[in-house]
A and B are shown apart, each in its own frame.
Chain A
């Protein structure tokens, strides 16, 4: 395998890491307003349970995206340049959502005031839904191809990106991430929130299976290769398995399966793309491939050493974080709000 293939795989790995880890972060954020709603608990307490299941880890999870962006820039600068200038507006919207989400999560508990918390909750909900949908739209369009001209400029407008296949992709990622998040919540929380998360997961699986099934099948039939059939099967089987495992309250295994579903879907997308990185719908000769979009052999070599050395270390310490915070969180463990009142006391 040449270094260009290695880096295609590594970029795929970074995006797999991002979607597996941020997938449930987005899911938790999406479900935060509704989880545990029927249990008579104060809204703020159950929301805090949900938020704190991802509390110590969400920031590290998000770095997978930043590093994926950096890796694309280093290994496939043409891809980086064409993709991000070509998908200008969707990326702008994703960035706005991510910015709002970051500060909303971090600042939510700083002020003890209902209106403040409500605003932060909106930030978290908006910041979780929007990327969950738009990443699916973006990746579906990458696989489908956009109008790249001879100068490597994308001529497709914003509304061209909203084609049926891509919209189905967006719906798929939104549903799968919501399901992934619900299962994660069921795994990480206790009592009322856990019970409710199990119910939500069971209900989400009903639309998720046909929608995601249709999307992976469409991807496979239109863009797939022989070996990617196995990913279609894995994604479908995993999603169906989730239904049974959540009913049996085996959240750990259910989470393994939603993870498998996310991995299978992302690998299917990258596998269908290979050896292109951004096919052109105008002329196959204009498509960006791992050959014509990559960096020089020296840069790839240096980056391979760096990645080979650093990635295992990162995975070890990030894994350790999950181990440290492995306990379930119950509503009884949520400490009273320690935020300040809005108005300063007089002195």
Chain B
């Protein structure tokens, strides 16, 4: 492979790794903030226990999210220096803002939250986790605004003297309609991920506790049932509510984003549908077979009428959609010879995987609300299994969605805006750094192996802590005088948390 391919693989691999952990952080931070708020408001210990339990899982995840994110900040310059030169004037601004506004906030206040138990006043400590929650979401906004410039450049002009895109309006850049659709879509996806994660773990624990009551002594059985009823059930219900709201959000924002893409990046949508030739009211494709990275190899097996017209323009008939072949001809006229088709196989299937995998969360939400209706605590084994099976699915859907978004804009790294400045466009081969391919191979292999190893450790830690459940020493809040020995003024107070 040449430098371009290796660089693309490297960016893809590192970004997909990063975005395994990111959505959980983005969604889980506000959920933990809500749990802690519930504890502060209702003073019920089980909300405290849930906060601590999911707080541990959150921190295990936060660490690797930061670790995999740090590379991204430098990778543009390392591997895509020509791209960085071309768009740095525009693209650097949201990145710097992200650091100034969001990264500082989340990393400083996460430290205060971790170490501040029992040291900060309760409300100040609560404010810390809320600021973390705001910070992680703000950082998502800035980076998605940056990415949206690559999909749909706005707020910039091309300066022929310097040969680069130059920012003309930060406001236009930050209110790019692509960003305003992509940001809520990604955040809704993140909430769906975190909601499914919490609901899955609580659901599994609920079933486990209820089933165990039959095999243990009466005292233990009471404890298990109380935990299931007073802790896991409210935790699960909260998370199920999050899934429902996030699910509606994902569908709505996805629809908005889809309609935008049909206008702004028709090639991406045509290839997502394997729509090879321009058609009036084409059918929505559900299943195709074939080798499929070219139009000739596609055989449509299952199609539904009307759906695609609705997705594209919000009406059922009278919609003409352009096909890949016509778009290719058009692009060659506009931009000169070249292959302007994305990988049809990847776009087609990642689009379907993204949508299809959301079914896991939907099934969990509907089943969960049903089995916990009217104060019920489920003990059905199938629900325990469903809870676990649902957890990875939104993670995979997130990856699929980003793979679709990013591979759908190929061969562009800055996709030309059909109604924007003509010269603000760049293909990936123009954006890559001039390295020997061996150099990039070294970093590709290093990051892949390192992240792979860390990913395995992350998974084991998450599983280990999830299986352990809420811990003994987190039964009661610090400073809870009913359960703590009176303070000895001669003895130095132990830290509530230490690495």
Contact = CB atoms under 8 A, between A and B. Distances in A.
Interface of A: 48, 51-52, 55-60, 62-63, 66-67, 69-75, 77-78, 80-85, 88-89, 91-92, 95-96, 98-100, 102-103, 105-111, 151-153, 295-296, 298-299, 302-303, 306-307, 310-311, 314, 317-318, 321, 324-325, 329-330, 332-335, 338, 340, 344-345
A59 B66 contact: yes
B112 interface: yes
Contacts of A84: 74, 76-78, 81
B63 A318 contact: no
Interface string B418-436: 0000000000000001110
A151 B85 CA distance: 12
B59 A106 contact: yes
A318 B108 CA distance: 6
A56 B434 contact: no
Given A55-B114, A62-B107, A299-B90, 7 more contacts: A60-B107, A70-B100, A299-B89, A302-B167, A306-B97, A311-B100, A324-B112
B491 A344 contact: no
Counting chain B CB atoms within 10 Å of each CB, the highest count among A69, A105, A111, A329 belongs to A69
The 5 closest A-B pairs by CB, nearest first: A77-B88, A84-B77, A74-B92, A67-B99, A106-B63
A344 B498 contact: no
Given A70-B95, A108-B499, A340-B468, A296 B159 contact: yes
27 contacts: A55-B111, A55-B498, A56-B115, A63-B103, A67-B100, A67-B104, A70-B99, A73-B76, A73-B77, A74-B93, A80-B84, A81-B85, A89-B442, A92-B443, A92-B446, A103-B63, A110-B465, A111-B464, A296-B167, A298-B166, A299-B93, A299-B166, A302-B170, A314-B100, A321-B111, A333-B498, A334-B498
B343 interface: no
B50 to A, nearest CB: 18
A52 B82 contact: no
Contact of B115 (A55, A78, A110): A55
B101 interface: yes
Contacts of B101: 306, 310
B174 to A, nearest CB: 10
Contacts of B170: 302
A96 B435 CA distance: 20
- The dominant DSSP class at the A interface is helix
Contacts of A74: 88, 92-93, 95-96
Contacts of B443: 88, 92
B193 interface: no
A301 to B, nearest CB: 10
B92 A77 contact: yes
A325 B70 CA distance: 26
Contact of A324 (B78, B120, B442, B457): B120
B499 A60 contact: no
A81 B81 contact: yes
Interface string B465-492: 1011001010000000000000000011
Given A74-B88, A96-B446, A57 B73 contact: no
Given A62-B107, A67-B96, A85-B78, A99 B495 contact: no
B168 A298 contact: yes
Nearest to A311: B100
Contacts, number: 242
A66 B70 contact: yes
B461 interface: yes
B100 A307 contact: yes
B95 A73 contact: yes
A299 B79 CA distance: 24
Nearest to B474: A338
A283 B433 CA distance: 22
Contacts of A111: 461, 464
Given A102-B67, A321-B112, A73 B92 contact: yes
B183 interface: no
Contact of A344 (B74, B93, B167, B467): B467
A63 to B, nearest CB: 5
B333 interface: no
B454 A99 contact: yes
Given A56-B112, A153-B434, A71 B495 contact: no
Given A88-B439, A107-B63, A307-B100, A302 B78 contact: no
A299 B156 CA distance: 10
B450 interface: yes
B454 A103 contact: yes
Contacts of B104: 60, 63, 67, 310, 314, 317-318
A314 B96 CA distance: 14
Counting chain B CB atoms within 10 Å of each CB, the highest count among A57, A77, A108 belongs to A77
A160 to B, nearest CB: 14
A331 to B, nearest CB: 10
